[in-house]
Each structure stands twice: as C-alpha cells, then as structure tokens.
Structure 1
Amino acid sequence: MDFSGLQRSKRLLWFLGEGQDLRYTPLEHGQIRLLAIRPGRSEDKVVTRLVTVPLSDSLPYEALSYTWGAWNDRGTLVIDGQTVDIHAGLFNAIHALRYENFERLIWADAICINQRDNEEKSHQIQIMDQIYATADNVVIYLGQVTEHSQQGIEALRSFIDLDVTLAQPPWLYVPPPQTEKCLADILMRPWFTRIWTVQESVLARYTTLVCGKHQVSWRGDFQTLKSIVFRFKAAAIAPHFGPDGNPSHLNWTPFLQTLEAQMRQAARREGAMIERTQLDLAFDFRHRRSTDPRDKYFAIFSIVENDRGGTLALASDYSKDVEELHRKFVTEMQRLSETI
C-alpha cells in the first residue's frame, strides 16, 4: 500500500498552528513516535507526551484515522509541557479517546511526525502502511455526537456483533422507525468520502469506529469480515431500506467498500479464497428496475438455478409479499454460501 505523496505532506502542515514548533528528538531508522494521552475527565485540559519507540517493538498502540472537520476550528492541548494549537478534527478525536483512569497510546500523523523535517516526513509517510498494519487497533474517528449518532452506532452494532443472536435481525426484518436515519448519521459522514482514510483503515487487524464517546468494534480476520459484509449487502437490497441510489435512502456503498477492502487484505494474510456469491450478484444489480419488486429475487434465483443445475428453495410464488420473499432469499443465500 503506497502512502507516499506530496499531497499527504501538504495536508499534515495544516494541522499545527502557524509558527508552532514542537521540540522533537530526531528519530532513528525504524523508529516512530507515539502520543501518550494522559487520563482526565471531559472538562480537564488535554495533556499528552511524545514517546519514541521502535516500530518493531511489542508496545501496544492504536493508530488514528480521522478527517479535518471545519476549516477554521481549532483546539488546544499540551504536548510535553508545550501548549499547542491544532486542527479541531484532531483535537476532538484525542479528547474523545482520552480515558479517565489510565494513559492511552495512539499514533496520529500530524503530531507524531515532525512536520518541519522533510527527510523524516518522507520516511514516515513511506512506512505508514506498516504503522497501521502493526497497530493493535485502528481507531476511525467520525466526529462529534449529534441527535441520532448514539442510535446510529447501536444500529450498526446490531449488524457487526456476530456473538449476539437477534430475534429480528435488521437485514431480514423491518427495523424500528428512525433506524435508517440514525444509520445515515454514521455512514454518510465525511470520513467515508476521503481517499486517505481508505489507506489508513484497510490494513487494520482490529477496527473501532468512534463517534463522540460511542463506539463499535470488529475483528480484522477474514471470516468475521466476510460475515459482516454479507449482512450489510443483505440490508442494502432489502425493500425496507431501499436502494442507495435513491437520495431519500442512506448510501451503504462507501462503508461496504471499506469492509471489502479489509476483507481482501485479510484474505491475503490468511491465504483465504474470495468467491463471489449470488448475494454479490443481487447487490450489484440492486438498482435495476422491475414492475413488481419480487421479480428481482426470482430473476437472481433463476441465474443461481441455471448455475447449479438444480431446484432451489425459492419458487416463483407471487402469493408471498416482498418482505417475506426477501427473508427467504437471504436465508437461502446464507445456506448456499455458508457465510454465517
């Protein structure tokens, strides 16, 4: 994964206030800096220190992925005794990640790289893939809380938590009112529109999505990611959510692209094989029109039957409503792909 580039270097210079030079100790080859966030309550000043470690060290740390936020907003924190003015997007992330009772080690590009040292900056950008791949956790900070963000994270958790059995999983049954709006609050944030965030998240061994103080996490192994992708694709074709091409509905695609990129990396690490399923086919053609919405399911199943040379458990029965048909379709896809 190539993290090098002039635009990345230019981006980093905007985060620190004009003329603010932190006192950095030069890095040796193979070293990185980590930002240790001192414990504190929400109203306390944010106090931190820089720690230099070999990248190969077993010291656990988390790598931060975030976006700028409003251009003119700034925040103030203390780094090694110096008061530093930084961009609000980074400040809000550090503030949200601070624990009350113990220190937290993170890697954040704008602070952990000496922006005034071009040689160091070039080298650190070149090893950024290793920094994110080595981290115990990649923290994706989406921004501050809104009216719907807590419910949005909870709704997201219902898709991601594979250890919980739901009586009516949202990718099969019509979810409670407001679920779509709450999910959209999370999945349509600026983080999902930026190219650097893809590179930062794709190599994660463990991922935590954070919005304010609310969060949801998932493991980065192939089988976990495969199962999560299945659930979200099943929801994306569901009649109760509607196609993401409709502006009145949420757009599943950017989040799914992130998950699938992580899944491909996990498959390479583990030597696993990725095979396209019939659900992938249904997802790819979800925007195709039909007079009767049930025809979409029957059309996909006719392709599956021809491919497998046998009769499947879903006949062209127009006595079933589209919601019931969707549940039968996804259940059969689960059986065929042995995904979940």
Structure 2
Amino acid sequence: MGEYIYQPIDHDRPSIRLLRLLRGSFSDIIQGDLFEGWINQLEGGIPYNALSYTWGTTEKSARIIVNGYIMRITSNLYTALQHLRVYNMDIILWIDDICIDQANMQEWRHQVQQMSYIYREAEQVIVWLGLGTEETNYTMDSIKRLQENFIKIEGGWRRSAQLWMHLQSRPEDANFHEYAKLHKGMELILKRPWFQRIWILQEIANARTATIYCGRKSVSARTFAQMPSIIGLQPEPHSQAVLEIMPGLRKESWWGQDRNLQTLLRKFRGSKATDKRDIVYALLGISSDVYQSDTLLPDYTKSSQQVIRDTISFL
C-alpha cells in the first residue's frame, strides 16, 4: 500500500479538505476519506466539526488509511481519532495535520488566511486535551454532574459557588474532600499543553459551540469555562484568559470590549509556538484592529525579525 499524495485544491475559492472519519470500534484500524469542500455553506459546503489539539511531538509515528493509502500522523492525533470515532456513524472533521498539505507552502498560506473562518463555520469545535487520568476522569465526571444538576435550575451556578464556599469553611465535612479532589483535578487539566499553544486561541475564540474532551470524558466548553470560579479556583492569568474566550464566557469578558493586537499580545504572551512568527500570525484572525487588513498578512517567506519589525510598525 502506497503513501497518500495530496491533490491540489482550488486557491481561488474558500476551499478546504475535509476528512470523513469512517465508523469503527476503538481497536479498528483508523480509516477515512479526504475530499475537497468549501467553507461557505451557500456554496454547497458540508457541515463539519473542527478539531483543536496539540501536535505533541512532531514525529509522525502513527499510520492511518486515507482514500486507500497510508498517511502518517502524530501519535497524539492518532489517539484523539481513536477516542472521537464512533461505531455507528461516520464523522466529518477538519484537522490541520490531515487536511492541509504541510509540505506545500502556498497551500499552507492559503489555509492559514482562512483559519478563523474554518473554525467559525464549523458546527462545533472539538477540543482534545489528551488522555484521561484518574484525577481528570473524576473532575470531568464531576463537571458533568454539576452541569446536569444545576444548569436547568434558576440560580444554580450561584448556588454551586455558595456550596463550595460553605465546604471550604468546613473541612470536617465529608463532601469537602470530594470538592478538594475536584479542585486539584481542575488545576491539573488547566496545565495541559493545549492551554499554552498559540493556535488554539483563534480556534476556540471563533467557535460557535465547543466540546472539551479529556480521554473518554467530555463536557461543554460553556460549563468547563465556568467551573474554576464555581469551585473557587484562581487559574494562572494565561489559562484564565483562554477560559474567557470560550463560548459561554466570551460575551461577559474583556473579549467583547478590547481585543486589539496589542491587548492580545499582552494577554497571551505566555503562549508557545514552534515557529516564532506564529506568535503574531495566530492572533490576526481574532484581532479587532488587524482583521481583514493587508498590513500583517501571514507570509512565511519573511524572517521572524521582519515579522517583529512589521508588528512594531503596526502597533
């Protein structure tokens, strides 16, 4: 079986590739079909979900079957696909490592310029945080229960916060230890590499809805983003800023008032990128003063120093 070879896509239209992840059980070989689509639904676009994740190691040590050919992907992405695949239906996904020909710089630039649209037009954004542990499983289950118990009750979230404050003052209460375990688990989740990756910012900020996956557990981004304040946890400033741009908190945070490039660079100065140019380029699609401007279009023919000079000149 030969290696998959990318076919060109139409750069004159909002073209993207989409992966049809074929149904299967957890242990089955991962198979899919890659096909060209369009972002704009008016042009006959196909509904899809967009994946937000970290590559982990850049070594492509795992193999999947795409259109009958071998495609090599990172082990973290392979694990994500294992957990996202279901046995009874195919799923349409947009995934950067699979849907973009990473060796084609012209295509990469075309796709980067559309990145905000890709995530904005997705039916939902799926956030993959990695494999679960005993601590994260407990936390995700607890978040799910709190969502089910309180989301439909008037004043439910406020009552949850009041309960947490009550338990903090009564460490002898048996339930206190359960909440302390939840508190610790949430801290561990917020330290996952996903929260530090620069590209996730526009992925989650443009999401209409999002679901957070950690191993086999999942909760809505809206619920997840509110949990730290409910349980009295103060995340690190960077993680808190990420939570504040998730669906659910976005409209109530600084996001709706002040998101020019200078503010974004300050808020997310702790973000990490393999390519230093991405510290700027990854923010262009969510910046209020650069959006749709020709001043700082992603151009990977420029050196990091030139991008820095262009950014300083713009600011």
TM-score, normalization: structure 2?
0.65
SS at 1:114's partner residue? coil
Corresponding position of 1:22: 5
- Seen in structure 2, the aligned counterparts of structure 1 residues 71 and 147 have a Cα distance that, compared at 3 Å, is farther
- Seen in structure 2, the aligned counterparts of structure 1 residues 205 and 159 have a Cα distance that, compared at 3 Å, is farther
Shift of 1:137: 0.5
Whole-angstrom distance in 2 between the partners of 1:264 and 1:42? 32
For the pair 1:163 / 2:151, whether they are aligned, the reply is yes
Map residues 45-194 of structure 1 onto 2, 5 A cutoff.
45-57=29-41, 58-70=45-57, 72=59, 74-157=61-144, 163-165=151-153, 169=160, 172-173=163-164, 174=167, 175=176, 176=178, 177-194=180-197
Contact kept, 8 Å, 1:158 with 1:169, in 2: the verdict is: no
For the pair 1:200 / 2:203, whether they are aligned, the reply is yes
Whole-angstrom distance in 2 between the partners of 1:52 and 1:273? 34
- Seen in structure 2, the aligned counterparts of structure 1 residues 41 and 273 have a Cα distance that, compared at 3 Å, is closer
Contact kept, 8 Å, 2:221 with 2:248, in 1: the verdict is: no
Whole-angstrom distance in 2 between the partners of 1:69 and 1:110? 12
Shift of 1:191: 0.5
- Seen in structure 2, the aligned counterparts of structure 1 residues 265 and 112 have a Cα distance that, compared at 3 Å, is farther
Contact kept, 8 Å, 1:208 with 1:218, in 2: the verdict is: yes
Corresponding position of 1:217: 220
Residue type at the aligned position of 1:75: A
Report Cα offsets for 1:272-308 as digits up to 9, x if no partner. 9779xxxxxxxxxxxxxxxxxxxxxxxxxxxxxxxxx
- Seen in structure 2, the aligned counterparts of structure 1 residues 163 and 134 have a Cα distance that, compared at 3 Å, is same
Shift of 1:263: 6.0
SS at 2:140's partner residue? helix
Report Cα offsets for 1:25-77 as digits up to 9, x if no partner. 43342111111100000110000111211111252111111012345572211
Contact kept, 8 Å, 1:202 with 1:265, in 2: the verdict is: no
For the pair 1:33 / 2:17, whether they are aligned, the reply is yes
Q: Supply the RMSD in Å over aligned alpha carbons.
A: 3.2
SS at 2:116's partner residue? helix
Residue type at the aligned position of 1:50: L
- Seen in structure 2, the aligned counterparts of structure 1 residues 179 and 76 have a Cα distance that, compared at 3 Å, is same
Shift of 1:158: 5.1
Counting matched residue pairs gives 235
Whole-angstrom distance in 2 between the partners of 1:134 and 1:217? 18
SS at 1:180's partner residue? helix
Contact kept, 8 Å, 1:142 with 1:189, in 2: the verdict is: yes
Shift of 1:112: 0.5
Residue type at the aligned position of 1:163: I
More moved, 141-150 vs 173-182? 173-182
TM-score, normalization: structure 1?
0.61
Whole-angstrom distance in 1 between the partners of 2:205 and 2:256? 18
Whole-angstrom distance in 2 between the partners of 1:195 and 1:156? 26
Residue type at the aligned position of 1:211: C
- Between structure 1 and structure 2, the one with the greater Rg is 1
SS at 2:244's partner residue? helix
Contact kept, 8 Å, 2:9 with 2:16, in 1: the verdict is: no
Shift of 1:119: 1.6
Whole-angstrom distance in 2 between the partners of 1:213 and 1:30? 34
Residue type at the aligned position of 1:49: D
Map residues 226-305 of structure 1 onto 2, 5 A cutoff.
229=226, 232-236=228-232, 244=234, 251=235, 253-262=237-246, 267=251
Identical-pair percentage: 29
Q: Which runs of 5+ in 1 are unaligned?
A: 1-18, 245-250, 276-340
SS at 1:261's partner residue? coil
Shift of 1:190: 0.8
Contact kept, 8 Å, 2:210 with 2:247, in 1: the verdict is: no
Contact kept, 8 Å, 2:243 with 2:249, in 1: the verdict is: no
Whole-angstrom distance in 2 between the partners of 1:262 and 1:123? 26
Q: Which runs of 5+ in 2 are unaligned?
A: 168-175, 259-315
